[in-house]
Structure 1
């Protein structure tokens, strides 16, 4: 059982207290196919949101693949998929009811949780973290319309579907998704901060990308750029060995976590983000909090996080953007990141699940 932490907000905050009390038994269940020990933006977001909600006074249970028998995901063995979710998950959920239920992902656990809630007419919320239609298209060329039709049906029964940015809300609204609400992201400003850059003894400037090394991240678009200094990739994934062989001059440093990860962020001179498919890009905030300017494409995610703020350069000419970003003052990047807190992100999540909580109590 999750440990219930003391309220962070003062007891005189009536709005927060009423929101917490509206959740049945002050209990929230989050079902996610992405969970520890996986390392990615979805997992970091869910884990930090869990901690913040516990500090506010909620009892939070995360049901992830670690509780089930799993098999490797095809083409992506680092991700484990629950194979006994259909019969094992209902047993877990029955023991935790009544509760507000949030379904974070559309995988086997998410599908089993949705089936459980629909069968018992128990309201639930969902979130749209990952642009799976584009990811699947990048891997096997399946038309994105087919996958979007399936995902629209999956989320269609939710009281609320949470999306990361206004751009994503507009894009999904145009595809017929309903009941969309914003759930932004935060950054750990204590962990990710400007630090000395001497952890990396490579020729400068250092242009860095951090994240999952997979085809949908479009990392090759970064590695193909004619840039001075050194290109560095931090992270693991199914495309890692292929890119190592194709780009022998690039420094591939593998996955990093905690302090080690934060030190590598801060050691960069520019963070290059070539992805066209991310719904937000938590790594953008982590780089900016580390005092590192961003070069990215003008697509959803970077447009919402950076926009026309001088902390980064957005351009279809990614090479130009990377060179131009070298001129940005690191202090400007840090100040922009300070606008994003995990507490505000978690309060937003809490407000979004209130319709679920009210229907649970009805």
Structure 2
């Protein structure tokens, strides 16, 4: 397979787990000699997504999307998101008899439930229909695969993630003010309600708490927790230095499907404290690189004793090159299954 078209409603300049996964996978595929094209909201009229304005929803129609798909002329179509572009690309592909894969990145039913008192059942029914139309649905972890399988999703394929270990690495010194008390417990990610950051900020811990990231909840958390050190968004080398300057990475999310930040923290030699849920359970498991417990405070304290070299060694098991190879193999399997069926 020499060419892949990725259709996504989430793309640069957004910075989130979906965009980074697709961007890094595309780079790795290109390094393997695969031509990668991306059909994103860029070039379309858009409106902001409710409660997540960084995501722009495209205003277009099936014919326009089908023409763009034809212009790219790629061998394989991968639909990464369930937004307007994803829906229209899927409909166009089915109309012309073109097989495609999808990927389940975000537990949107749980995100909606975190904001409004709605049942997730009808949302899962809609998502199941969307993904089951494809020839394969790629998922980041075995726990997610089992969960979606129980919900009636078909043709599920494992597609793990990676980490840039040359960027995210142990770094000497600290970027934090010298008078910031130790130990330092850090959280990195989008500052929004579904990330459950308040659960981290409410913990009675020694030393200091640091939150790295931007998002709609940042202003209110800064106001409500003046003792917490909020840095705003950090990226690349600067972000790696922030990870490496901390003692424990605390991950309170209950809704992430993977959590790239877990691998980034480990690659910087920083152990993890998290709840024993999807994402942490798959990334950390019984590796001894973190503590998973319903008592997040005790998990954070116990993680202080985990050696940095163990964390780094575990993270090095993951690479974006391996992730891209798995993606490509899934695409080949889906194409072959469609041809047979």
TM-score (norm 1): 0.91
- Asked whether the 8 Å contact 2:174–2:241 carries over to 1, the reply is no
Secondary structure of the corresponding residue to residue 353 of structure 1: helix
Runs of 4+ aligned structure 1 residues displaced above 6 Å come to: 359-362
Q: What does residue 347 of structure 1 align with? A: 325
**Which of these residues, 117, 121, 135, is aligned with residue 145 of structure 1?**
121
Indicate if the aligned counterparts of 2:210 and 2:228 stay in contact, CA closer than 8 A.
yes
The answer to whether 1:57 aligns with 2:24 is: no
1:245 pairs with 2:230: no
Deviations 1:1-42, CA, capped at 9 Å, x for gaps: xxxxxxxxxxxxxxxxxxxxxx3xx21100011111100111
Q: What is residue 94 of structure 2 aligned with on the other side?
A: 118
Which deviates more from structure 2 when the two are superposed, residues 240-249 or residues 164-173? 240-249
Aligned equivalents of 2:74, 2:239: Cα separation in 1:
39
User: What are the residue-to-residue correspondences of 1:1-362 with 2, within 5 Å?
Assistant: 23=1, 26-84=2-60, 86-201=62-177, 202-358=180-336
Q: CA deviation at 1:97?
A: 2.7
Residues in 1 aligned to 2:306 and 2:316: alpha-carbon distance in whole angstroms: 17
Partner of 1:16: none
Shift of the alpha carbon at 1:243? Answer: 1.1
Aligned partners of 2:42, 2:246: CA distance in 1, in Å? 34
Q: CA deviation at 1:90?
A: 2.0
The answer as to whether partners of 1:197 and 1:268 remain within 8 angstroms in 2 is: no
What is the Cα deviation at residue 359 of structure 1? 6.7
Between 1:241-250 and 1:209-218, the stretch displaced more is: 241-250
Give how far 1:361 is off: 7.7
Compare 181-190 and 85-94 and name the one that shifted more. Answer: 85-94
- Which whole-Å CA distance do the structure 1 matches of 2:334 and 2:76 have between them? 6
User: Unpaired segments of 5 or more residues in structure 2?
Assistant: none
Deviation at 1:309, TM superposition (A): 1.5
CA contact (8 A) 1:266 1:290 kept: yes
Residue 182 of structure 2 aligns to a residue whose secondary structure is: coil
Listed one character per residue, the Cα deviations across residues 253-306 of structure 1 (whole Å, up to 9, x for unaligned) are: 111111111111111110000001100011000000000000000001100100
Residues 336-345 or 73-82, more deviating: 73-82
Distance in 1 separating the partners of 2:255 and 2:320: 23
Maintained 8 Å contact 2:9/2:86: yes
The answer to whether the 8 Å contact 1:68/1:83 transfers is yes
CA contact (8 A) 1:68 1:85 kept: no
SS in 1 for 2:160: coil
Cα distance in 2 between the residues matched to 1:236 and 1:81: 20
Displacement of 1:108? 1.0
How far has the Cα of 1:86 moved from its partner? 4.0
Q: Distance in 1 between matches of 2:338 and 2:271?
A: 45
Q: How many residues align?
A: 338
